[in-house]
A and B are shown apart, each in its own frame.
Chain A
Amino acid sequence: MSTVHAQAEAALPRGLLIAQAWSVLGDAVAPLSNASGRPLARTVKLILDPLVLRPVLNPGFAAAAVRIDHVDALRDRITAAGPVLAATAAWFLVLKKERRRAGITDGNPQDLYFQRCYELATEHGDPGPDRAEVAAGVLAEVHGQDGPTVAQLRDFVADPGHAGELSRLLDAAWADPPQARPTPAAVQPADFLATCPDPDPDLFDALVADLAGTAGAVELDRPGTAMDHGLTDRVQPARPALGDTAAKQSLPKPFDRSIVERLFAALSSASRTELGAVPGLVRREITRSARPWQLGEEPGRVVMVLGREAIAGLDGAPASPGAAARLRSRWEREAYVHRVLRMPSAAPQEVRADVYGVRKAYLRRLWVRLHGRELRRDTVSADGLWDLLDGVLRSVILDQRDRLRSALERQSSEGSP
């Protein structure tokens, strides 16, 4: 906050500068704009920030307030990118048209195509006569005709030639789980959490080097603890089954999922091209299932420990400053918004948003996100970590609202005489 204060005198809001520079580009970029003429949120997040403004290379553009001496440079960068942004917009229209023609309804087109469109614009300029072909090629790539599929996964585990070997692998992994070493604990998770929302990368690296995530998983083997974390319905985590099938709607708790169920979501998403081949995926998942937190890499385990620590301050004594206090503030805001939106205060028991239930849902969702990132080999780092910790609570809260609404509607229709 202090940096914002200090710069406010001789600085302009970044949002204002971007809006002004963007409006000069006119109708050519309308497909990347919203109805009020602003760049779409994802235009900023996926195109302007990483590809045009690049705050990592231009630290002057990074803060919410841009100093006067950087203002012209920022405007110039957007103006200079005008032609390529116009071509990006044109390619987006072409891809949307082709998507409609191909009957694709999977995923958010902005998330999936924006950066591809920018690449196309850089490489080809405006769409040419071969636009349809090019677009079809991109769609084929994005929608993962190349990646591994759920069918391949089912065939692989069902093949009698593999089933025995895979079961033995599972037994072996679970018979001899790696032992955690006692840790020197030079850095405490709380030290790192206190630095949020601008997390200190050195502290994170220190936690990873200390194996703080592995150390924090030891207690999960105590009866009832993993259950209290919302990660299993069993008293103690047990060796998962290999499994043969999965349904998106009724997945068990994370540690109770079979190997097939663990891979299912990633294989049925639009980003499965980023996954490796099925046999390797299955074998790695088997190994992963027996590791601390049932995750394969230490950074993810550290994040589980951090999430647990941060969410513990949701009620009771005042939360420590940083991540815990901010999560708590989000939770308290929700109680207020809940009343203003006339949400039920005496909710049906199964969806009642009590604090304990939120903690479990939080850790469960955090695990699912970290596991998904491991599968996509998208390693967690300090950068973006606060957004992850905060975003998981937001997503848990919004889902609870949706569940309350639909429970209300369900009861209404059941209540009809």
Chain B
Amino acid sequence: MSTRVERGASEIVVGEWPAHPEHTAVLEARGALLAWDVLVDSGPAARIHDLALAAEWLWEVYGPEAAAGILGGATEVEPSADDWVGRVAAYLSWAEAWWPASAVAGVPALDPAVLSAERAVALAEVEHVLDDPDAVARALSSLSSLSSSESADPAVLALMVTVAELAEDYGVVLPEAVAPRQSQFALAAGIGARGDGVIVLSGSNAVDWALVPAGVVDAGALAEWTVARRQGGTFLDVAVVPAPGLSTWPRLSARLGQFDVPLDGTDDLGRFVGSASVPPTVLLLPPARRVLTVYAPDFADPLVSSDPDTPARRAAIIAHAQARVGAATSTLTERLAGSR
């Protein structure tokens, strides 16, 4: 399959640049950015901004002949490599950001400790092509520690031995901090259960992944909302399913029209819930604006996505993740997902 090479004034673009951030894996290489669509897996595209630097390693991505073509001014090349340098490291960065953990869709959460360890090892293997000369040390410094049940897995043990050796080679003292875990949930449950009253309006909307940090909201579940009249007032009630394996607890909020509801409680089902008194004018919202937007205020502004392809794209990513969990060709991180 031949690949197009476009030559602009300040950069050379090799292949089809992926269109959507949420299924794009990137590798920041020396002299070029590599990216590919994780759903297509058709080999990476490159935006080369410094050809002299990239010349050292382009052959590892596209094969020596195609690399020579790119360097020599060809407008089309035939990449030969089946696998390419940096694929695993970039894929795990994608998974860290966009893995659609969802109890509803049956996509188990990835273990952040296994992921960060596997990613550090993968980065070390391709250190010679990376833009950041300290990428490996940086990755090693941000590892989180494993729980004892995870360390019992022989594959994880082997991974940890490799990580320890790397840490020694790079002079990094591994941190011992333990990330907070699911147990926080049980404590928080029971607060802010939704009130009843007379339900006037209700609906459910998907959560835009780009508006909340990774691993916070169930990627497959819909956020549910109701407008209810009770005790002489009008209330907007919202409930959102958290991601399985949620370990961090960011500030979340939801917006319907111009009305904001902080999601500061948890109900009996372990969902993020919030309730706010709203003026009765909420009932005047035209149907098109009766869309709930869930967002993390410290993370993103609540812009309503207008891209009609978004639901299909999300479904495709979830299907991709479902297929990866059991697959033999997956990363260790994916194979272990949901196994604890």
Contacts and interface: CB of A to CB of B under 8 A. Distances in A.
B128 A337 contact: no
A249 interface: no
Contact of B21 (A342, A347, A411): A342
Contact of B55 (A13, A197, A348, A408): A13
Contacts of A112: 171
Contacts of B33: 333, 336-337
Contacts of A326: 49-50
B39 to A, nearest CB: 14
A361 to B, nearest CB: 17
Given A34-B127, A337-B33, A415-B250, A8 B213 contact: no
B42 interface: no
Given A398-B138, A408-B213, A14 B128 contact: no
A38 B52 contact: no
A22 to B, nearest CB: 11
A416 B180 contact: yes
Interface in B133-189: 133, 137-138, 142, 162, 168-171, 173, 180, 184, 188
Interface in B85-100: 85, 93-94, 96-98
A325 B11 CA distance: 12
B137 A15 contact: no
Contacts, number: 174
Interface string A90-130: 00000010001000011111111000000000000000000
B59 interface: yes
Contact of A4 (B52, B210, B266): B52
B59 to A, nearest CB: 5
A169 interface: no
Given A40-B127, A106-B171, A394-B131, A8 B97 contact: no
B21 A8 contact: no
If over half of A's interface residues share one DSSP class (helix, strand or loop), that class is named, otherwise mixed; here it is helix
A57 B265 CA distance: 69
Given A5-B71, A13-B58, A345-B301, 19 more contacts: A14-B56, A15-B55, A15-B56, A35-B121, A35-B125, A96-B168, A105-B173, A107-B171, A110-B171, A197-B50, A333-B49, A336-B33, A341-B26, A342-B22, A345-B299, A346-B299, A347-B298, A398-B132, A413-B248
Interface of B: 10-11, 21-22, 24, 26, 28, 33, 35, 47, 49-53, 55-60, 64, 67-68, 71-73, 85, 93-94, 96-98, 121, 124-128, 130-133, 137-138, 142, 162, 168-171, 173, 180, 184, 188, 191, 209-210, 213-214, 248-251, 264-266, 296-301
10 contacts: A15-B60, A16-B60, A35-B124, A35-B125, A40-B128, A325-B10, A333-B28, A340-B97, A341-B93, A346-B301
